[in-house]
Amino acid sequence: KVTFILHFFLIQSVAAHPDTRQLFLNAHIPLYLYPFLYTTCNSKPFDYLRLTSLGVIGALVKENDADAVSFLLSTEIVPLCLRSMEVGSQLSKNSTSSELAGVNAQCLDEAHRGPGSKALTFNSQMYIAWSMDC
Read off the pLDDT of residues 56-70 as tens digits, 9 standing for 90 and up: 888 888 877 888 888
Residue 129: per-residue pLDDT: 59
Read off the pLDDT of residues 26-57 as tens digits, 9 standing for 90 and up: 999 999 999 988 888 888 888 888 888 888 88
Q: How far apart are CA 70 and CA 59, in angstroms?
A: 14
Residue 30: per-residue pLDDT: 93
Read off the pLDDT of residues 100-132 as tens digits, 9 standing for 90 and up: 777 666 665 554 455 554 555 556 655 555 555
Residue 108 or residue 3, greater confidence = 3
Taking 80 as the threshold, does the pLDDT of residue 13 lie above it? Answer: yes
Which amino acid belongs to residue 64? N
Q: How far apart are CA 6 and CA 100, in angstroms?
A: 24
Q: How far apart are CA 41 and CA 58, in angstroms?
A: 22
Q: How far apart are CA 109 and CA 73, in angstroms?
A: 15
Residue 54: per-residue pLDDT: 86
CATH of 2-133, one of 3.40.309.10, 1.25.10.10, 1.10.8.60, 1.10.240.10: 1.25.10.10
Among 28, 19, 25, 93, CA closest to 54: 93
Residue 119 or residue 8, greater confidence = 8
Residue 75 or residue 19, greater confidence = 19
Does this model's pTM top 0.75?
no
Residue 1: per-residue pLDDT: 60
134 confidence band (pLDDT: 50, 70, 90): very low
Domain range annotation of the chain: 2-133
